[in-house]
Amino acid sequence: MWVYLLRKELISAAISLKLADIAAGAGAKAIVCSPLEVSEIAKQNPNLVRITPGVRLQSDQKGDQVRTMTPKAALQNGANFLVIGRPITSLFNQSNAGESKDLIDSKLNEIESQIN
């Protein structure tokens, strides 16, 4: 099982790097890439802007996301922009916008404090 998973990750990384090369060769200025490949893509294509989804705080639920990384680690590995969707949008409560704003502000402050 572990060998299969390791091999699957290596294949996934190789495909991601190849796709990044194709995108760069076609003139793309930016790509969306997993935080697990962002470091290698940054080395291989340093001029591409790298947008990284799947970013979570250590304390956040991963949900169905299995290829995740913390904001600080993603930035250290070469991400230019982070997509932190569900950990923020899940805090919105339509029936209480004021409380939602406070929760979202608190989450954003927590993210910022962990990056700096």
Least confident stretch, 2-6, 17-21, 39-43, 112-116: 2-6
Enumerate residues 6+ apart whose C-beta is below 8 A from 54: 34, 35, 65, 67, 68, 69, 83
Looking at residue 64, its pLDDT comes to 78
- What value does the mean pLDDT of the chain take? 86
Q: Are 91 and 108 in contact (CB under 8 A)?
A: no
State percent of the chain over pLDDT 90: 53
**CA terminus-to-terminus distance, the chain:** 38
- In angstroms and rounded to an integer, the radius of gyration of the C-alpha atoms of the chain is 16
Matching residue, tokens 């299995």: 66
Q: Are 80 and 38 in contact (CB under 8 A)?
A: no
Residue 5 has pLDDT above 80, yes or no: no
- Domain CATH for 95: 3.20.20.70
Distance CA 9, CA 88 (A): 28
As for how many domains the chain has, the answer is 1
Structural domain span for residue 96: 2-115
Residue 1 has pLDDT above 50, yes or no: no
The C-alpha torsion from 60 through 64 and 67 to 71, rounded to 10°, is -30
Looking at residue 72, its pLDDT comes to 95
23-76, pLDDT tens digit by residue? 999 999 999 999 999 999 999 999 999 999 989 988 888 777 778 899 999 999
